[in-house]
Structure 1
């Protein structure tokens, strides 16, 4: 297993969101990056947690964290364990009064929860070898565009009202 961190959230050519995981000890431009395609809501949730943004109401991964805390449990680690026919699989290791439990999860949910709890994120060597790509350092223009996107989303969250979504 290789310990990784969220390097960023990107969009592919077709507009699909991708979470990028890179080895925690690799310098930018070194090592391999693991891209995992995720939904837009999951991308937003991970980005909010990684950036430490305030949200007016708890998101799904905030709820998961609160439920675990209420049960006196903690997330020890999350692992991206395998790929099967293009589908990534993950596990969340939780410790609580009943002992250690391993829970099957989608990688996006595992990563979103880890980003909120400070749990370590690991990727199986075989997964990184099969699906990892060479790290390409993000240029200044892309980094600035990402920051602008985050700021725009934070402004949206400040002004959004649930009634805006009623049909």
Structure 2
């Protein structure tokens, strides 16, 4: 699988489209805005002055003697996609697909999806519209620049934990 596009759904939600080249199907995965920006930056080869979280994770793994070999999109439970990071030593780590794909793009790792998952959730190519004209490329470049500006102006307190945040340490 490869990243075909990162864009916005008709409802305004960021969506990642993974393309299965052999069957010409697309796997749409709805993701967060930050992850969409991270994948777009990595896909465009944009380097930031300081490492972003996904780059940091790759760097830490490499410093510890590990390399991300592949990302597996493993399932869909109650509308939520599941993924695993697979390292060269065989270690597997559960991850959100958006983070897993962002890591794979940065590390040059393969992305695979389970065949049963593709049968269940993939969309035929003729049902997907991917902008391929110059306007789409300009829009992507503008989004990358807007995300860069956001990062440059961000302060640590802008990223405080929200009540009910599943990543929160507070358990609220």
- Which residue does the alignment assign to 1:75? 68
Q: Which residue of 1 aligns with 2:59?
A: 66
Say if 2:51 is the partner of 1:54: no
Equivalent residue in structure 2 for 1:122, among 101, 112, 118: 112
Write out per-residue CA displacement over residues 21-64 of structure 1, whole angstroms, 9 at most, x where no aligned residue. 011346xxxx2100000001000101111111122221111111
Stretches of structure 1 lacking an aligned partner (at least 5 in a row)? none
Q: TM-score, normalised by structure 1?
A: 0.82
The offset of 1:139, in angstroms, is: 4.7
> Is contact 1:21-1:34 (8 Å) kept?
yes
| C-alpha spacing 1:42/1:160, structure 2 compared with 1 (3 Å) | closer
Superposed counterparts of 1:5-154, under 5 Å: 5-25=2-22, 31-95=24-88, 99-135=89-125, 136=128, 138-140=130-132, 143-154=133-144
Give, in whole Å, the separation in 2 of the partners of 1:166 and 1:101: 34
TM-score (norm 2): 0.80
Q: CA deviation at 1:106?
A: 0.4
Q: Distance in 2 between matches of 1:23 and 1:90?
A: 16
- With a CA cutoff of 8 Å and minimum separation of 6, indicate the structure with the bigger relative contact order: 1
Runs of 4+ in 1 over 4 A off after TM superposition: 163-167
Aligned length: 155
Q: Which runs of 5+ in 2 are unaligned?
A: 159-172
